[in-house]
Amino acid sequence: MSTTEAEIVYETELDRVVGWRLRELRRGGYDEAGARAIAERVEIDLHRAVDLLKTGCPQETALRILL
């Protein structure tokens, strides 16, 4: 596999992961912009992000904590 092919495969997998994270964050209560900001930062723990909202943390505060 050439470097270009490897990059394409990785990019496609990363796109799938970000898409899944985005859906989970939206389901967890984030609006589109907030969910996208978190989803694209794969180093942010998805469960922590969702748990913040579940425990009553306002989205704006959660985003300041996570980002």
39 Cβ contact partners less than 8 Å away, ≥ 6 residues apart: 18, 19, 21, 22, 25
Q: What is the pLDDT of residues 53-63, one digit of tens each?
A: 999 999 999 99
Using one digit for the tens of pLDDT, what is the confidence trace for 10-42?
678 899 999 999 999 999 999 999 999 999 999
pLDDT at 12: 86
In this structure, the number of other CB atoms found within 10 A of the CB of residue 60 comes to 9
